[in-house]
Amino acid sequence: MKKPDVKIVLLGDVNVGKTSLLHRYMERRFQDTVSTVGGAFYLKQWRSYNISIWDTAGREQFHGLGSMYCRGAAAVILTYDVNHLQSLVELEDRFLGLTDTASTNCLFAIVGNKVDLTEEGAAEDQEKEEGCSREAGSSCASAKVSKQVKLEDAVALYKKILKYKMLEEKDMPAAEKMCFETSAKTGYNVDHLFETLFDMVVPMILQKRAEGPPQTVDISNYKQPKQTKSGCCA
Amino acid sequence: MMNIKAFQLVSAIERELLMGDKDRINIECVECCGKNLYVGTNDCFVYHFLLEEKTLPTGTATFTATKQLHRHLGFKKPVNELRAASALNRLLVLCDNSITLVNMMNLEPIPTGARIKGAVTFALNENPVSGDPFCVEVCIISVKRRTIQMFMVYEDRVQIVKEVSTPEQPFAVAVDGHFLCLALTTQYIILNYNTGVSQDLFPYCSEEKRPIVKRIGRQEFLLAGPGGLGMFATVAGISQRAPVHWSENVIGAAICFPYVIALDDEFITVHSMLDQQQKQTLPFKEGHILQDFEGRVIVATSKGVYILVPLPLEKQIQDLLASHRVEEALVLAKGARRNIPKDKFQVMYRRILQQAGFIQFAQLQFLEAKELFRSGQLDVRELISLYPFLLPTSSSFTRSHPPLHEYADLNQLTQGDQEKMAQCKRFLMSYLNEVRSTEVANGYKEDIDTALLKLYAEADHDSLLDLLVTENFCLLTDSAVWLEKYKKYFALGLLYHYNNQDAAALQLWVNIVNGDIHDSTRSDLYEYVVDFLTYCLDQELVWKYADWVLQKSEEVGVQVFTKRPLDEQQKNSFNPDDVINCLKKYPKALVKYLEYLVIDRRLQKEEYHTHLALLYLEEVLQQRPSTNDKCAEVTGMQAKLRNLLQKSDLYRVHFLIDKIQGTGLHMESAILHGKLEEHEKALHILVHELKDLSAAEDYCLWSSEGRDGPYRQRLFHTLLAIYLSAGASDCELVVAAVDLLNHHATEFDASQVLQLLPDTWSVQLLCPFLTGVMRHSIHTKRMTQVAVGLAKSENLIYSYDKMKLKGSSIRLSDKKLCQMCQNPFCEPVFVRYPNGRLVHTHCAASRHTNPNSSSPGNRT
Ligand SMILES: Nc1nc2c(ncn2[C@@H]2O[C@H](COP(=O)(O)OP(=O)(O)OP(=O)(O)O)[C@@H](O)[C@H]2O)c(=O)[nH]1
Ligand SMILES: [Mg+2]
């Protein structure tokens, strides 16, 4: 088994399309999925690096596993469904806390999936049936709805996350760069999402290598940042 | 989910052996250490069995357990847990919250009575930190609340080393080094008992459902998670493998690489750690113990003990391959790497890759197949042998046994589907082409190239020719038959040529050109043959086909003699006379050949030059039958003739003059006379016969090329004399004479000319001549004066130098040494260089260079 150099974790509510996104990227197709049980992971060879990408389960039952999956992650992809406002709210309420175990310089990406179901998304998607023109949009309202979550909402969440993590905006990638709208169904923006992140984590791999591999894991390392943080907040 | 048979469940201890017909006796725990199998019961007995494994001829394993003894421990409590410490020859028995040590063989309690009290459950550290081989590290969950204790257990004593308290009540524990993996009331944690630092893993409600904490390898644990998950976690608190999905009511888990085995109240399930898939389900009711002991997996109900015997990995892999589950087979094979000795593994793995390759191949998944063949280092002949008739008849190849696939040949594999067959052939073509130059081909290049040739020939593929004109190992007899079968006669010729059978090759090609056999590979085959002969080292062959090529085309055919590579000329060139003799029947070819000898090779042999001139002449005469046809332009042939006559000095002039007599070829005869230095005659012909005055003027110029001034002057004077001798009546010549003088004033000696000219001529008429002559004469005078002046001044400079050098005297003494030989001067004779150095005269003579400068010295 190849040892991964770095870890990226997908988080997000049930049904937002985490598995579909990963599947689209890795297998180049969109396929019926079943709600993920526990978690699954893929190993992606990116240039000379092995990147492990963890797909987690959104179901409440498995919520407790999230912290462990996020431990030491170099990047976390927070996924929501653009047609489902609650899924964005959940990211902040339920999932953000799980990322406390991620590595201290962890990157965050916020991804609104299923844009193909929205009017804008439909316009971007050439493969869609011709019959449903923009004008006739209202008659097709059952299929194409106007987006519930705007990109600005995601950007706002991103900034909130930086605040929560007590990170300076100027030290982190710009919100506009880290908020994506995708469609696992059509493939829209999916490669862009993953490859942008891969490019960003490569320097982290190099840095990690330069520091040398932590052969014996000193778990006190993981506790300390937490303590300083709480101390600082108090 | 498709299943594989990874394990077989066999009985180890029949219930009669344990309890006979006593129904209330239950098995509480088991321990297995090598051949020793221990069972603890609810009525406080420990049984010791010896386990004997046998493999039946059918390949199935059976176990027989023979009871050694059993002993009551003296309590009224069940035996909760048993652990063997073989290095100490001790069995650790947990009963009634205390761990006692008994002798492994006779089950006698040790005399010291050493024990650990107050233990709810315990675990051995399989990755001990002490390094003492006669000590085991035991971790217990204490009866004291929220307390863990670490002990060192020796042969006859125990020693507590650490006590740590946990944030919540622990329910299960496993140990690896300093790390404890604990199931607490609400979560799993990793606790470093040395530093006290802990690490949360994930929440789990141990009171609701029995937790599982199982060490599965260095620094890694398997835990029961929410929703029936089997979670993997390392001591660092991360998960390196995706979870496996068990049922909700899982009771126990064990590892038998690469499988995770789980037990619930109805089934034993087997998952692969490599792809997390469930691989096998075995119905097993009322099981309550599942444990692995150094690779041996034991399950037990309360009444019987069973062993899960793993089927050999190889068998499992073969089963997967048999059902065409290539991906899983490869994952399993790769996963087995660390369990099998390296050499054995490589052999096995290669074979699996090859088999997998054939499975992909049969499904026409050529890309995948190719990769598998490549990585499996397949003997290509295995693949070639699938295709009927491709392997050479002489090949010694036999397919490997057991076979790598189930197919007799391609026909069977494609079931006669022509399209599929063609695809397979295309694949083999590209595959062989790729591997033929790699090390894969070593040892059977003949087989590969011959097969490739056959495929190309059959498919009418362009690369057939490339194959044959570059280095190849095609076997002659086999290949020839195929090329003939597919009428690839040109290629067959190439094959013959490659095998040094040029005669056969040429015969084939000539037959094709003659239309005796048909092969349209090359439309320019005749030119190809000519080219081939041109470079052919075998003179006999060239002679054999010389007539044939010349009959086809004299001009092209003659190239076999004229275009031969030069380096070859020296060692193995044709005798020109033989060639000329042969070319007699082919006049055009003969001309070309003589031109080649005379012009290209510059052979200085009179015969060739004369012969060529004669042939030119004949040709010219043939082209212009009417003599004296003045207006005819100079033909190409005539130009060649003139050129030869002018440039060459070797031909027999008189012979040619005879030939040319009366043909009206004035120019040519003028040239010939010129060759004899009969310039007057030549000029006469030009002026009076040819009546081409500019030609006459040109004659003076080119005839004197490379000669001295007076020679040229003589020619011009001769011409002038001819012009003037005609008298004033021929006014054309008079004008010509004037023009000649005026245009070439400097070519004449003015004083002689003036005496020749008729008095009647006006100065006006000759003005350009006279001024030209005057200017020339004055110019010459002045130039001469300048030269005289310069010479004088140079002389003066040298005189000055000489005076200076002579001005001072030189003393010669014993101390002065010759600068060259470093010896003293014995005679009063010396040479002095301008820089003042003195040397012997003989030294100076032997080296005419200044001793210290490279310029030649001036002696004084
Ligand atoms: N139209 C559309 N449907 C999508 C898209 N992505 C996912 N889906 C559908 O949404 C459903 C849920 O997708 P999953 O990928 O299983 O969602 P998930 O986030 O992995 O869910 P959990 O594993 O339960 O956390 C499936 O029916 C998908 O077909 C998308 O981009 N467009
Ligand atoms: Mg999922």
Instruction: Tell me the per-residue pLDDT of A47-100, one tens digit each, with 9 for 90 and over.
Output: 889 999 999 999 999 999 999 999 999 999 999 999 999 999 999 999 999 999
Q: Ligand 1 centroid vs B475 CA: distance in angstroms?
A: 61
* Mean pLDDT value across residues B773-781: 89
Which of B685, B695, B677, B687 lies closest to B726, judged by CA?
B687
CB B76 within 8 A of CB B127: no
- Please tell me the pTM assigned to this model: 0.65
CB B82 within 8 A of CB B46: yes
Q: Are B202 and A220 in contact (CB < 8 Å)?
A: no
- DSSP for B493-521, written as a single string: HHHHHHTT-HHHHHHHHHHHHHTSS---S
CATH class of A6-211: alpha beta
Q: Are A68 and B276 in contact (CB < 8 Å)?
A: no
Residue B830 lies in a domain: yes
At residue B633, does pLDDT exceed 60? Answer: no
Express as a percent the part of chain B with pLDDT over 70: 95
At residue B75, does pLDDT exceed 90? Answer: no
Confirm or reject: Cβ of A118 under 6 Å from ligand 1: no
Q: Ligand 2 centroid vs A191 CA: distance in angstroms?
A: 18
Residue A117: its pLDDT value, please?
92
* Mean pLDDT value across residues B483-497: 94
Residue B815: its pLDDT value, please?
78
CB B593 within 8 A of CB B582: no
* Mean pLDDT value across residues B200-211: 93
At A190-209, the pLDDT tens digits run 999 999 999 999 998 888 88
Residue B849 lies in a domain: yes
* Mean pLDDT value across residues A126-134: 42
Which of B165, B697, B539, B261 lies closest to B561, judged by CA?
B539
Least trusted range by pLDDT, from B241-245, B482-486, B575-579? B575-579
How much is the CA Rg of chain B, to the nearest whole Å?
56
Quote the CA–CA distance of A120 and A89 in Å, as a whole number. Answer: 22
Least trusted range by pLDDT, from B81-85, B219-223, B388-392, B829-833? B829-833
CB B371 within 8 A of CB B435: no
Closest Cα in chain A, distance from residue B61 (Å)? 31
Q: Which chain A residues are Cβ-neighbours of B227 within 8 angstroms?
A: 37-38, 59, 61-62
At residue B655 the predicted structure's pLDDT band, cuts being 50, 70 and 90, is: confident
Quote the CA–CA distance of B769 and B743 in Å, as a whole number. Answer: 7
Q: Which residue of B has its CA nearest to A223?
A: B199
Which of B478, B467, B461 lies closest to B390, judged by CA?
B478
Number of structural domains chain B divides into: 1
Task: Break chain A into its structural domains and give their ranges.
Answer: 6-211
Residue B665: its pLDDT value, please?
82
**Cα B618-B624-B627 angle, rounded to 5 deg:** 100
* Mean pLDDT value across residues B626-632: 50
* Mean pLDDT value across residues B13-37: 84
Q: Is A65 on the interface with B (CB under 8 A)?
A: yes
Residues in Cβ contact with B780 at an 8 Å cutoff, skipping those fewer than 6 apart: none
* Mean pLDDT value across residues B626-634: 52
Nearest CA to ligand 1 atom 15: A17
Ligand number nearest CA of A78 is: 1
Q: Is B231 on the interface with A (CB under 8 A)?
A: yes
At residue B860, does pLDDT exceed 60? Answer: no
The ipTM of this complex is 0.83
> Which among B354-368, B559-573, B655-669 has the top mean pLDDT?
B354-368
β-sheet bridge partners, residue B671: none
Tokens of B410: 């391609």
| Range B497-532 burial, b when 16+ CB lie within 10 A, else e | bbeebbebbbbbbbebbeeeeebebeeebbbbbbeb
| Strand B267-272 to B278-283 pairing | antiparallel
At B284-324, the pLDDT tens digits run 999 999 999 988 999 999 889 999 998 888 888 888 888 88
> Which among A1-10, B47-56, B261-270, B688-697 has the top mean pLDDT?
B261-270
At B123-138, the pLDDT tens digits run 999 999 988 889 999 9
| Range B344-360 burial, b when 16+ CB lie within 10 A, else e | ebeebbebbbbbbbbbb
Residue B510 lies in a domain: no
CB B240 within 8 A of CB B234: yes
Residue A142: its pLDDT value, please?
45
Write out the residue range of the structural domain in which residue B815 sits. Answer: 811-860
- DSSP for B643-702, written as a single string: HHHHH-S-S-HHHHHHHHTTTT-HHHHHHHHHHTT-HHHHHHIIIIII--HHHHHHHHHH
- B727 versus B603: which is more confidently predicted? B603
Please state, rounded to an integer, the average pLDDT across all residues of chain B. Answer: 87
Q: Which chain A residues are Cβ-neighbours of B234 within 8 angstroms?
A: 217
Residue B846 lies in a domain: yes
At residue A128 the predicted structure's pLDDT band, cuts being 50, 70 and 90, is: very low
At B367-417, the pLDDT tens digits run 999 999 999 999 999 999 999 999 988 888 889 888 899 899 999 999 989
Residue A222: its pLDDT value, please?
43
Ligand number nearest CA of A65 is: 1
Ligand number nearest CA of A41 is: 2
Residue B859: its pLDDT value, please?
46
- A102 versus B758: which is more confidently predicted? A102
* Mean pLDDT value across residues B664-683: 83
Residue B567: its pLDDT value, please?
66
Residue A84: its pLDDT value, please?
93
3-state secondary structure of A187: coil
Q: Is A71 on the interface with B (CB under 8 A)?
A: yes
Q: Which chain A residues are Cβ-neighbours of B331 within 8 angstroms?
A: none
Tokens of B771: 């001024």
Residue B485: its pLDDT value, please?
93
At residue A223, does pLDDT exceed 70? Answer: no
At residue B87, does pLDDT exceed 70? Answer: yes
Count of pairs with CB atoms under 8 A, one residue in A, one in B: 70
